[in-house]
Amino acid sequence: MPRTQFYHGRRCTIGVEYSAAHLSRWGFFPVILEYLRTHKLPQRLETITLATAANGLYSTVDKLMSLVSLFLLGIARISHIDRSLAGESALARLLGMARFPSSDTLYALLKKATLCHVKQVDRITHALLTEQARFEDGPLIADLDLSAKSTEGRKRQGATPGHNPQHKGRDCYQWAVAFASGLVVWQRLWRGCTSGFSVVQLAVEALRERLPGLRILRLDGGFLSTKVLTSLVKEGLGFLTKAGCKLVSIRTLLEQTQASDWQSYNEHTRLRRCGKVHLLKDFPMLVTVVLVECRRRQKKMKKGRLRWRTKVFYYAIVTDQHHWSTAKIYQTYKARWAIENFFKEANQSFSSGKLPSSKFRGNQFYLGLLSLVSNLMQFFKRDCLPKSYRTVSFATVRRHFLEHAVLIEDHGDGVILLIFSEDYPLKHTANRMLQKTLAA
């Protein structure tokens, strides 16, 4: 038998050298950077006219690519760049810099952003969607929703108390996003007290221009109002939205529903269809309502013991698509969770939970750049990764391909060699990703 080794046995001598200059903790980041260059992202960012000192160490493109790197690497705050990327000289050289800029440099860049710069980022996003997005030829369904955005500090321009479920009464912004086929088609930052009607009105104008095949708009229940539904009818857009049980017409339908009226959809859900319903007092159009009964099991601790309790929830789905079946109405509205997943990924994978700038336009610019990077990473998963990665979050992609130590050797003439540990578990998938990226 081999001799057992003990921690209190032979002592070793440890020495330290500081000679390696090509180490990084962000594995396949050079591959993703090459994909961004394939789509000419640095050249596109050169069209953004943010002012930079003529004799400064960094150009505007250098600073913008540093912000893009923060999104890709999952660094939670701009202020964390000073310690997270301080020793990443190998990655900085790949971007054409001696080292990454400090957090103060990036904060100062966002403070200079104006409405003109916000529109420039929006035009870049629209151009990429026109070139790369594969929208269906048939009728398109777009999602529109709002997400409350808290701020890093108290004094933030344009932040007002509004609908902020996590921090009630605290100043916030409202981030409106239109989502279609897994991509951000339109986005805009608003004050915290913005009404839903003004958001829908502006979003529909933009979506009409960008999505000629748009036929139906899916909305969260917070948008349900006479003004919103009337404007959608005038625009000739179909709608699916949610209605709560506090609404008189929905509560009346639930009270009139008999046990035999419910149709079983699955073991946890039952549906009831109600046609030609007068939903709102000032909205004369009759709509189709699908009542949903959903059973959910919830955990509860009682006297130190874990117990399960089944709770029943009721809500309604409202639409003007009278010819659709009950199951199709329910399934189509349920697919609206794609935009909810985007908001979750924007907060967790791309670190947009709290907006960094003290200026309103700076935060608008920041979210515009984030949306651009999010769409590019959707294209990257589609073009370079196996189909199993298309539905996962970018945090999973980062964990599999980026959060691994690597030795970067630059052999000149555009030849870069990445040296990983022999025990790296995803060699085959990584090799295919590299081949597809270079082929692009």
Task: Report DSSP letters for 123-168, one per residue.
Answer: HHHHHHHHHH----SS-EEEEEEEEEEEESSS--TT-EE---SSST
Q: Residue 271: what pLDDT?
A: 94
Burial of 299 from C-beta contacts in 10 A (0-12 / 13-18 / 19+): exposed
Q: Report pLDDT for 54.
A: 65
Average pLDDT over residues 141-167: 78
Check if the beta carbon of residue 405 is closer than 8 Å to that of residue 23: yes
Per-residue confidence at 133, pLDDT binned at 50, 70, 90? Answer: confident
Alpha carbons within 13 angstroms on the beta-carbon side of residue 119 total 4
Rounded to an integer, what distance in angstroms lies between the CA atom of residue 100 and that of residue 62? 9
Distance CA 241, CA 216 (A): 11
pLDDT digit string (tens) for 397-412?
A: 999 999 988 888 877 7
Predicted confidence at residue 107, as pLDDT, reads 92
Rounded average pLDDT over 63-81 = 91
- C-beta separation of 210 from 129 below 8 A: yes
Quote the tokens at residue 270.
Answer: 């039952």
Task: Tell me the average pLDDT across 381-409.
Answer: 90
How confident is residue 310, by pLDDT bands cut at 50, 70 and 90?
confident
Q: pLDDT at residue 146 above 80? A: yes
Q: Can you give the pLDDT at residue 439?
A: 84
DSSP 407-435: EEEEEETTEEEEE--TT-TTHHHHHHHHH
Kindly indicate the confidence band of residue 29, based on its pLDDT and cuts at 50, 70 and 90: very high
The 10s digit of each residue's pLDDT in 416-429 is 888 898 889 999 99
Judging by DSSP bridges, how do beta strands 238-243 and 214-219 pair with one another?
parallel
pLDDT at 153: 61
State the Cα–Cα distance between residues 28 and 385, nearest whole angstrom.
13
Average pLDDT over residues 151-166: 72
Q: Rounded distance, CA 360 to CA 190, Å?
A: 9
- Contact partners, residue 292, CB within 8 Å, separation at least 6: 269, 270, 271, 314, 315, 316, 317, 330
User: Between 300 and 201, whose confidence is greater?
Assistant: 201
| DSSP per-residue codes, 301-326 | EETTEEEEEEEEEEEEEEES-TTS-H
pLDDT tens profile 270-296: 999 998 899 998 898 999 999 999 988
Look at residue 187 and tell me whether its pLDDT is greater than 90: yes
Query: How far are the Cα atoms of 213, 229, 230, 296 from residue 284, in angstroms, in the given order?
Result: 27, 10, 9, 35
Lowest-pLDDT choice from 19-23, 64-68, 279-283: 19-23
Q: What is the pLDDT of residue 270?
A: 93
Confidence of residue 315 (pLDDT cuts 50, 70, 90): very high
Q: What's the pLDDT band for 188 if we cut at 50, 70, 90?
A: very high
Please give the mean pLDDT across all residues of the chain: 87
Reply yes or no on whether the pLDDT at 415 is more than 90. Answer: no
The answer to pTM > 0.95 is no
Amino acid found at 208: R
On the question of pLDDT at 6 being above 60, the answer is no
CB-neighbour burial class of residue 110 (10 A; exposed 0-12, middle 13-18, buried 19+): buried
Cross-strand pairs, 341: none
Of all residues in the chain, the percent with pLDDT exceeding 90 is: 49
Query: Per DSSP, what are the bridge partners of residue 264?
Result: 270
Strand partners, 409: 417
- Which pLDDT does position 12 carry in this prediction? 73
What are the residue boundaries of the structural domains of the chain, listed by start?
A: 23-113+378-439, 239-327
At residue 9, the pLDDT reads 60
Looking only at the bridges linking them, the beta strands covering 354-355 and 140-151 are parallel
Q: How many helices (H) and strands (E) does the chain have?
A: 15, 14
Q: Is the pLDDT of residue 63 over 70?
A: yes
Q: With 90 as the cut, is the pLDDT of residue 317 above it? A: yes
pLDDT at 5 over 70: no
Contacts of residue 281, defined as CB under 8 A and 6 or more positions apart, other chains included, come to 226
